[in-house]
């Protein structure tokens, strides 16, 4: 008697979730594993950090997705390794999980690029906890300045965003809009002293976008008051601010790190072969070369782009790769030969703020301004998981747009006054 094939998917991000959805209702047993009990719609984390959306708007309970799929299990846990001989995933709570096929979709982590002091003093924006912590920090900076206005001069209200990719551009634009709300909140404070500095080491923002999009982002951010500095590399981050490679210091108590990611250290922990950025260079069928039953997908994987580079670490790549891996598992069960993964590029977009966004779509369609912004809104609403979250986000966006308000500007964290009792 041969049992059903057991698939374990590590990570409930875009890649792991799509893979599991393909396998739901099929003849394999799947367990999806994540540290959190929810999927994070990470494209909107910067809106949590800037009090535009609530954490619950961009987090979706994973178990809820699979209530009707009896072949899918969910395990909240932190993977500490894999027993390859015994074919078991090992958790840090001592438990384990057997598998026949493993899909590693553990994502990425912040890449500090070795910049001195960055890991200690800059704020990352990769997970929900990061976004909530950053929100508390940004809002607290205004509270502290209001309590002691004399402190405003030395960078308390200067927020420096490092990295001019989509996340950095969106973060900088959202901060400026938050400042407009803070101006109403703090009538006694000179909020015009609050500044956003956006640092980009290369010669343009949104490096991977079209020329039109890059120019639009630069023009719009500058028009909205962001101090955008191109060709500007960071040498050091400390308690007081950022020191540039030119030697210039920018006093700034809040430094937000949007400079890039590197693959989750789990790839190395598992002993998988890794390349640039710690990513696992997979074959054209997304299997790890030499490991026929192991797939790597999402930000953790490096997938050749057909030329001499790799596909970017974007949500659509992760989703398509996840779906492909799921289908590939089913194909191999039926004895079919492996196929090649082809990425279908649907375009990229980044929003700058109210009625300003840059969207490079298919067929050479380049939208900016209001049209780009509407395209961005519709696409993001459509991509958010679940009717409830979609309705909540739509309601909040409409409210914020009409009232220029940010109802989610609560400084709040779970408090535990007592020692852990677990």
Catalytically annotated residues: 170
Least distance to a second copy, CB of residue 59, Å? 5
Site for a second copy in 204-233 (CB under 8 A): none
Residue with tokens 């074919």: 87
How big is the chain by its Cα radius of gyration, in Å?
A: 22
Q: Tell me how crowded residue 333 is: count the other CB atoms within 10 A of its CB.
A: 16
Identify the residue among 3, 86, 114, 187 touching a second copy (CB under 8 A). Answer: 187
Nearest 5 degrees, angle CA 371-CA 214-CA 317? Answer: 80
Identify the residue among 6, 37, 90, 281 touching a second copy (CB under 8 A). Answer: 37
Site for a second copy in 88-127 (CB under 8 A): 91, 93, 95, 119-121, 124, 127
Least distance to a second copy, CB of residue 413, Å? 4
Provide the b/e sequence for 236-272 (b: ≥16 CB within 10 Å): ebeeebbbeeeeeebebbbbbbbbbbbbbebbeebeb
Residue with tokens 């920090």: 137
- Residue 136 or 215 having the CB closest to a second copy: 136
How far is it, in rounded angstroms, from Cα 122 to Cα 119?
Answer: 6
How far is it, in rounded angstroms, from Cα 273 to Cα 260?
Answer: 21
Identify the residue among 116, 146, 219, 227 touching a second copy (CB under 8 A). Answer: 146
Q: What is the DSSP string of 58-105?
A: HEEEHHHHTTT-TTEEEEE--EEEEETTTTEEEETTS-EEE-SEEEE-
Q: Which stretch binds a second copy (CB under 8 A): 163-171, 181-189, 274-282, 359-367?
A: 181-189
How far is it, in rounded angstroms, from Cα 103 to Cα 41?
Answer: 20
Q: Which candidate, 129, 167, 135, places its Cα nearest to that of 36? A: 129
71 binds a second copy (CB under 8 A): no
- Residues contacting a second copy: total by CB under 8 A: 71
Q: Which stretch binds a second copy (CB under 8 A): 61-69, 100-108, 266-274, 333-341?
A: 61-69
Identify the residue among 247, 307, 337, 422 touching a second copy (CB under 8 A). Answer: 422
Q: Which candidate, 111, 110, 171, places its Cα nearest to that of 138? A: 171
- Residue 76 or 331 having the CB closest to a second copy: 76
Identify the residue among 129, 207, 211, 275 touching a second copy (CB under 8 A). Answer: 129
Dihedrals phi, psi of 85, to nearest 5 degrees: -65, -45
412 binds a second copy (CB under 8 A): yes
Least distance to a second copy, CB of residue 118, Å? 10
Q: Which stretch binds a second copy (CB under 8 A): 13-21, 217-225, 308-316, 411-419?
A: 411-419
Q: Are 89 and 48 in contact (CB under 8 A)?
A: no
Identify the residue among 18, 29, 52, 130 touching a second copy (CB under 8 A). Answer: 130
- Residue 1 or 387 having the CB closest to a second copy: 387
Identify the residue among 83, 246, 388, 401 touching a second copy (CB under 8 A). Answer: 388
73 binds a second copy (CB under 8 A): yes
- Residue 80 or 409 having the CB closest to a second copy: 409
Identify the residue among 25, 70, 153, 275 touching a second copy (CB under 8 A). Answer: 70
Least distance to a second copy, CB of residue 45, Å? 12
- Residue 48 or 282 having the CB closest to a second copy: 48
3-state secondary structure of 291: strand
Site for a second copy in 232-251 (CB under 8 A): 239
Q: Are 321 and 284 in contact (CB under 8 A)?
A: no
Q: Which helix (H) or strand (E) holds 406?
A: none
Least distance to a second copy, CB of residue 420, Å? 10
- Which tokens go with 92? 């840090």
């Amino acid at each position: 008697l041969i049992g059903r094939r057991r698939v374990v998917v590590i990570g409930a991000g875009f890649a792991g979730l799509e893979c599991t959805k393909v396998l739901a209702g099929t003849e394999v047993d799947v367990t999806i594993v994540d540290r959190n009990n929810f999927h994070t719609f990470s494209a909107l984390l910067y809106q949590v950090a800037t009090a535009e959306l609530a954490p619950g708007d961009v987090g979706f309970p994973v178990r809820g997705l699979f209530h009707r799929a009896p072949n899918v299990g969910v395990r909240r846990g932190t993977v500490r390794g894999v027993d390859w001989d015994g074919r078991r995933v090992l958790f840090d709570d001592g438990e384990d999980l057997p598998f026949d096929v493993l899909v590693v979709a553990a994502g990425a982590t912040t890449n500090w690029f070795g910049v001195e002091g960055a890991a200690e003093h800059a704020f990352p924006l990769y997970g929900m906890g990061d976004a909530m912590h950053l929100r508390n920090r940004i809002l607290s900076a205004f509270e502290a300045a209001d309590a002691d206005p004399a402190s405003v001069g030395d960078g308390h209200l200067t927020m420096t965003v490092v990295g001019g990719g989509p996340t950095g551009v969106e973060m900088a634009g959202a901060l400026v809009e938050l400042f407009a709300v803070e101006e109403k909140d703090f009538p006694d404070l000179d909020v015009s002293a609050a500044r956003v500095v956006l640092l980009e080491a290369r010669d343009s923002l949104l490096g991977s976008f079209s020329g039109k999009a890059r120019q639009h982002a630069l023009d719009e951010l500058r028009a909205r008051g962001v101090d955008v500095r191109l060709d500007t590399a960071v040498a050091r981050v400390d308690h007081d601010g950022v020191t540039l490679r030119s030697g210039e210091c920018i006093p700034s108590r809040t430094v937000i790190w949007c400079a890039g990611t590197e693959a989750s250290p789990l790839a190395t922990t598992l002993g998988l072969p890794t390349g640039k950025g710690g990513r696992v260079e997979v074959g054209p069928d997304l299997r790890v070369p030499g490991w026929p039953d192991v797939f790597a997908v999402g930000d953790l994987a490096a997938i050749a782009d057909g030329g001499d580079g790799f596909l970017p670490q974007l949500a659509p790549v992760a989703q398509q790769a996840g779906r492909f891996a799921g289908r590939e598992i089913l194909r191999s069960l039926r004895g079919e030969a492996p196929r090649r993964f082809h990425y279908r590029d649907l375009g990229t977009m980044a929003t700058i703020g109210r009625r300003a966004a840059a969207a490079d779509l298919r067929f050479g369609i380049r939208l900016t301004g209001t049209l780009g912004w509407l395209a961005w809104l519709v696409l993001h609403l459509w991509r958010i998981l679940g009717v409830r979250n979609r309705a909540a986000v739509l309601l909040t966006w409409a409210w914020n747009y009409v009232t220029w308000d940010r109802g989610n500007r609560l400084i709040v964290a779970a408090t535990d006054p007592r020692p852990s009792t677990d």
